[in-house]
Structure 1
Amino acid sequence: MRKIARTPSSPLLSSRRGLIFGTAAAGALLATGCTSNESNDESDSENKQAADTDDKKPGKKVTIGFAGPQADHGWLNAINDQGKQRAEEYEDVTLVNTEGSNDTAQQIGQIETLINKKVDVLVILPADGKALTRVGLKAMRAGIPVINLDRVFNSPQAYRCYVGGDNYGMGLNAGHYIGEQLKDKKNAKVVELAGTDSLELTGQRTKGFDDALKNYSNIKKVARQSAEFTVESGQSKMAELLQAESSFDALWNHDDDQGVGAERAIKQAGRDEFIMVGGAGSKHVMDAIKADNTVLKATVLYPPTMAASAIDLARALGQGKGVSGLASLEIPASLTLYSAVVTKDNVDEYLPSGFS
């Protein structure tokens, strides 16, 4: 798995102890800490309940500033919802949200306002990681720990902890799933509908996908188009792919939002000779996978629950509070969520996490 972040070397922040995971992770840590190799469901349940109660027990009050881009995309809207809902679970957390902006200068101004308000911790999902590195550094130098969410800053000194999805792993898992579906087909052809090429994450997703396909000598990627994570761009770029390739066996689409447009183009073209794999985990796609009556057969998760994890970590930093079951005294430099593949076989398990 790719290392995304290192511990920053800034001396301006004092050492903070502990880590608060989501309740499910805390329960898992406690369960694996048992000395017996035999399962004890009742004991595990009691331990999990105790961890849940202990984690949410009110402590030192913490004000968390939350700044992200404009929520003009289903996944970004889910990020905002996850962060807000998680903060509401804690009596000791006050969440201060910015309006959100895709304009880097405006987002920098919003974050500087949070710095001037002297919030205890900042959670920042930058519209552009490179462009906002400076304001991350400014917060850290002001003694405000930064949780960098999803789009990473250029310098590890601009954040205390990075929380995000595994973009390389997302492509890797999509490629392996498609590879297994086509491994017995001679001269199989796949196409890729990528996201915005100016974003580093898009390149990571494509590299993971290409690396996975190297394991299948019978499969060749014959075309790739880059869309812009929007319904409109997904439709237009998918139409181009369909026109350029008279037939193929599988499509990987990086993003379920732009996938809505891709589905429209596919339907208009009357094509159904291939399987389609989505990316991110929208409820719309999960419903289609469950119904099993379209080309959509799977999606690779990029969980917006990372925002809830960021709130957990921000609260931990603000309180210097730990959780039993974790040996390290410090929160990690990075937390990367796994990109599970959702299919008809396991979709019921993931449906509750599907976003609109």
Structure 2
Amino acid sequence: MGTVRTRAGRAAVAGMAALATIGLLAGCTSDGDEGEGDVVDQGTTSDENAEEGDTVVIGWSGPEADHGWLGAINSGALAAAESFGDVELRQAEGTNDASQQIAAVEQFINEGVDAIVLLPTDGAALTEVAIQAMEAGIPVINVDREFSSTFASRVTILGDNYGMGVSAGTYICEELEGQSDAVVAEIAGIDSLPLTQDRSQGFADALEDCGLEVSARVAADFTVAGGEAAASQLLSANPEIDAIWNHDDDQGVGVMAAIEAAGRDEFFLVGGAGSVNMMERIEADDSVIKATVIYPSTQAADGIALARLVAQEKTMSDLVTPSVPYRIVLDAPVVTKDNVEEFIDLAFES
């Protein structure tokens, strides 16, 4: 569906304008002594944000945790809620059925929760019920899979799928510098998903920038079995490869099994998402995998923290603008043996 304008949506936009006006007025007002006093009102401080406030009831709903990354998403949401003494979490059963998830959100609305954190099994399918929540005065924090209306959420927090492809391609370009005839292969996830398409586009764009291209490509399904089957097909069809990017470390378990079964080691492998399994192999530096690109499994945990701030009318203390941003896109850094210690504590188990 296209962008839907609602009374709640117009009110949200008006609220943003009011905040901007307040910020501008604060910035333009002084007592005549330049350089003295605060330039702007930065909203709540980090100390104020950490203080317990009124209890916030947050409804959390996500897909079924049928692989490692989604399992980490769910456990991260629970851990974040437990870390706040003023948060009561109501968790819906994980499901890959959009109708069941819609019913869960409707129940949250009926219960009058203070905020909803939602990783939709299908962003378009959950858009209308998210708008209903917003119209009921319940802020929705949209995680990972975007709704099809800007008025369906108060905050959208995303991983950077296109950026993952760019990061993987840039790393491979650096490692293959000067090898204009290098054979670069790609093992994608589910091709019908926009996130897979974004990852592949970012990868192709980064390779093009250094004069390379994807020579061979197969798609899997984010599962171990799918990764093994896709990698076996790729290796059989391509006797010589210089580098492979595998989109997902969960399916990477199967990819590595296929590589080891084939006895191939003439190339290096870059993973995706950032599992602890792959980071440990990167750290050991005794196999073809040399790097992985982070797709944060902390998004739902961040969503819980932001839902608390919004419900308590607090702000992000490190921003000058006294608000919580409406859209946050997280980074997609490359993890290698040189920096793996910085990331492994936040990695998920495949």
Residue 154 of structure 1: CA displacement? 0.9
Counterpart AA for 1:157? F
Question: Pick from 133, 139, 144: which aligns with 2:138?
Answer: 144
Judge which range, 79-88 or 167-176, deviates more: 79-88
**Partners of 2:70 and 2:4 in 1: CA distance:** 25
Asked if residue 164 in structure 1 is aligned to residue 163 in structure 2, the reply is no
Q: Which has the larger radius of gyration?
A: 2
Q: 1:1-356 counterparts in 2 under 5 A?
A: 10-11=9-10, 15=15, 53-217=47-211, 219-356=212-349
Q: Deviations over 1:178-225 (max 9, x none)?
A: 0100012241011111111121111110110000001222x3311111
**Partners of 1:133 and 1:241 in 2: CA distance:** 38
Counterpart AA for 1:135? V
Note if contact 1:301-1:339 (Cα within 8 Å) is conserved in structure 2.
Answer: yes
Query: Structure 1: where are the runs of 5+ without partners?
Result: 19-34, 36-49
Q: Deviations over 1:70-126 (max 9, x none)?
A: 001101111111111111111111111111101111111111111111111110001
Paired residues, what number? Answer: 321
Note if contact 2:316-2:324 (Cα within 8 Å) is conserved in structure 1.
Answer: no
Superposition CA RMSD, Å:
2.2
Q: Deviations over 1:26-68 (max 9, x none)?
A: xxxxxxxxx9xxxxxxxxxxxxxx9664322101211110000
**Partners of 1:251 and 1:323 in 2: CA distance:** 39
Cα separation, partners in 2 of 1:7 and 1:148, compared to 1, 3 Å: farther
Note if contact 1:68-1:127 (Cα within 8 Å) is conserved in structure 2.
Answer: yes
Q: Deviations over 1:223-242 (max 9, x none)?
A: 11111111111111111111
Q: Deviations over 1:301-354 (max 9, x none)?
A: 001112221111100111001243422122211111100100010011111111
Note if contact 1:108-1:135 (Cα within 8 Å) is conserved in structure 2.
Answer: yes
Counterpart AA for 1:220? E
Counterpart AA for 1:102? N
**Partners of 2:156 and 2:138 in 1: CA distance:** 15
**Partners of 1:268 and 1:172 in 2: CA distance:** 30
Counterpart AA for 1:216? C
Counterpart AA for 1:266? I
Counterpart AA for 2:9? S
Q: Deviations over 1:142-182 (max 9, x none)?
A: 21111100000111111111101011111000000001000
Counterpart AA for 1:354? A
- For the residue of structure 2 that corresponds to 1:10, the secondary structure is helix
Query: Structure 2: where are the runs of 5+ without partners?
Result: 20-34, 36-43
Structure 1 length normalisation: TM-score?
0.86
- For the residue of structure 1 that corresponds to 2:120, the secondary structure is coil
**Partners of 2:57 and 2:205 in 1: CA distance:** 43
Residue 15 of structure 1: CA displacement? 4.1
